[in-house]
Homo-oligomer: A and B are copies of this chain.
Amino acid sequence: MSSKLICRRDLDFLLYQVMGADGLVSFERFAEHSRETFDATLDTAESIAIDHFASHAAELDENEPRCVDQQVALIPQVKAALAQYYDAGFGAATQDYALGGMQLPLTISVACKAIFSAANVSTLAYASLSAANANVIGTFGSESLRRLYRQPLLDGRFTGTMALTEPQAGSSLGDIATTALPTDDGHYLMHGSKMFISAGDHELSENIVHLVLARIKGAPAGVKGLSLFLVPKYLVEKDGALGARNDVVLGGLIHKMGYRGTTSTILNFGERGGAVAYLVGEPHQGLAYMFQMMNEARIGVGVGAVGLGYTAYQHALDYAQERHQGRPVGNKDASSPPQPLIAHSDVRRMLLAAKSYVEGGLCLSLYGAQLADRKAWSGEAAERERARTLLDLLTPVLKSWPSRYCLEANSLAIQVHGGYGYTRDYPVERLYRDNRLNPIHEGTEGIQSLDLLGRKVMMREGEAFELLCGEIELSIQHARSYARMREFSDSLHAALDMLRDTTKTLSRVLRAGDTELALANSSLYLDAFGHLVVAWLWLRQAEVALRVEDTSNDEARAFYRGKYMACQYFFRWELPRIEHACRLLSALDTTCLEVSADNF
């Protein structure tokens, strides 16, 4: 029976047949792993996701966290689910054996994350944030911070947050106003207010570890003056025992459209004299530290968006196969029995679009995770460097493409359900509401597009971009050997030429210093770029499908044919849209620049 989370057949196909993830075991880091250990981990993830995460997702959505006696109360299933998650080792999945970790490749961990996100993204968020937090402390924190905070975070005894956003500054981190005053004891006293802090308060863990961007008194203006601090909810003694309550208080709970089970908080620091804060790393390096962690966080947002869209697609598919309604347009016989919804061409169109988005998005996330694994653990310096370059370039795409298109899959899933999809009796409306966050947090789509075009594509004179083009060209060469791939490889080739020309034009304008003109339509560039990358990954999926199709049984053949058809859908229905984007971009269209505030 289908779990309606992530189709395991598809996950296996993407991981092993397309990405060759089993090849990662040749890295020393993963030497003790094998396809068997990967599969066992995925099995466990799926089983915990079904039994302990999916089972309370709807109830959690209907019962938001609330303040009771100055504590944040959550339904008890959240804590129980997290206990299962940590007991099974997912809290430290990618960590060193020495830290109690599994030394799992990020690729497999990201696959697990897709499964958990599909099941219950709100509950998962507590664990994901804690893992990211532990990573920052592990990489940049002093020995003492690592000793006192990292292990409890990995074990699930503590949970963590990332406290960047302030009410007045939003995405503009350079305007962060929270201050930190040095004391004679070596720590700092923090004053300020942070907003939209996920998992900022609750009773799920013994302690909460906030990683806070703030400005040491006298620091330069802008992002160059930001430092990173660790601020615990409860102070921790040198022996690890919990001490006094720190001066961090809950300023309020924020009520959201979705993701309702993850507390979103306003946190006030230093209302009673100053919150004890410990500097992480060097002063004024806060943003650089956060950015080094961003790659993983942004893959995380992307795969979360995939999970939410993917499971909605699975629900819609199931509904379209079970629900009998109406007759195909050719059939005028009113007394004939109603057909399954999937018999209608327009329903198949919606399902194909959703399939191309969510399976394309999952492939993209796994590809990004594999780059991260290669960058960190490959034995060859050149491969590490190559992976780092590609990952840097693609990070904005890994974050924003799934956030946009898997969200669209959520909307299509509602539409396939018709009136039922709009009710709270079916999960698709909740999944839509949850996913609507992803184009906003961890850098909005607009910000990702500036990062891609203004920074990543331009870095090292376009070297990263050319590296990616080379990879894509290689796949085009491979695909050309199949007659049935010819249409796709030709289209991709033409699209690549177009994007390359567009990129050249925009780079020239940027180098000439007209930043505003070059970046005016950057979100269109991000969209076209993302579509090209996903088309490439669909080409790779279809090529594998064609290669093995003949040697398969009937069921597998239907699966592989589905891959080919989704590729055909993407190449015929989706990829051509980038033509128009490239035309507008190459023409340096000034419509959005020209229009003035009083024209609205």
Residues of A within 8 A of B (CB): 165, 169-172, 174-175, 195-196, 220-224, 254-258, 264, 317, 321, 323, 325-330, 334-335, 338, 340, 342-349, 351-352, 355, 411, 414-415, 418-425, 429, 432-433, 436-437, 439-441, 444-446, 449-450, 454, 515-516, 519-523, 555, 558-559, 561-562, 565, 568-569, 572-573, 576-577, 579-580, 583-584, 589, 591-600
Q: Are B340 and A597 in contact (CB under 8 A)?
A: yes
Which residues of chain B are near A425, meaning CB under 8 Å? 254-255
- Report the separation of the CA atoms of residues A326 and B454 in the bound assembly, to the nearest whole angstrom: 16
CA distance in complex: A561, B323 (Å): 51
B352 close to A591 (CB less than 8 A): yes
Contact B423 A224 (CB under 8 A): no
Min C-beta distance of A11 to chain B, whole Å: 15
Q: Which residue of B lies closest to A569 (CB)?
A: B591
Given A344-B446, A572-B591; A224-B334 close (CB under 8 Å): yes
A423 touches B576 (CB 8 A): no
Residues on B with C-beta less than 8 A from A436 are: 411, 414, 422, 429, 432
Is B565's CB under 8 angstroms from A591's CB? yes
Identify which of B170, B255, B521 contacts A419 (C-beta below 8 A): B170
Residues of B near A344 (CB, < 8 A) are 446
Give 20 CB contacts A-B under 8 Å.
A170-B325, A170-B418, A171-B325, A172-B326, A175-B326, A222-B335, A254-B423, A255-B423, A256-B422, A256-B423, A256-B429, A257-B433, A329-B516, A345-B593, A349-B592, A352-B592, A352-B595, A419-B440, A429-B436, A573-B591
Closest B residue by C-beta to A450:
B329
Closest B residue by C-beta to A429: B257
| Least distance between A555 CB and chain B CB atoms (Å) | 8
Which residues of B sit under 8 angstroms from A342, Cβ to Cβ?
A: 597, 600
Instruction: Give CA–CA (A325, B580) in the complex, Å.
Output: 31
Partner of A415, one of B445, B516, B520: B445
**Nearest CB in chain B: distance from A537 CB, A:** 18
Q: How far is the CB of A562 from chain B (nearest CB, A)?
A: 3
Is B221 in contact with A334, judged by CB distance below 8 angstroms? yes
A522 and B589 CA atoms in complex are apart in Å by 32
Q: Which listed residue, B321, B584, B589, B593, touches A597 by the CB 8 Å rule?
A: B321
A17 to B418, CA, bound (A): 39
Contact A576 B583 (CB under 8 A): yes
Q: Distance (Å) between the CB of A165 and the closest chain B CB?
A: 7
The distance in angstroms between the C-alpha atoms of A327 and B589, with both chains bound, is 21
Residues of B within 8 Å of A221, CB to CB, are 334-335
**Complex CA distance for A3 and B569, rounded to whole angstroms:** 45
With A328-B516, A415-B440 already in contact, the answer to whether A334 and B174 are too (CB < 8 A) is yes
- Closest Cβ neighbor of A421 among chain B residues: B440
Residue with the highest number of chain B CB atoms closer than 10 Å, among A170, A175, A419: A419
Residue of B nearest to A565 (CB): B595
Q: What residue of chain B has the Cβ atom nearest to residue A558's Cβ? A: B598
User: Is B600 a contact of A572 with CB atoms below 8 Å?
Assistant: no
**Which chain B residue has the least Cβ–Cβ distance from A523?**
B346
Question: What CA separation (Å) do A328 and B521 show in the bound complex?
Answer: 13
Are A596 and B440 within 8 A (Cβ)? no
Q: Which residue of B lies closest to A321 (CB)?
A: B597
**A317-B600 CB under 8 A given contacts A257-B422, A329-B516, A436-B422:** yes
A565 touches B594 (CB 8 A): yes
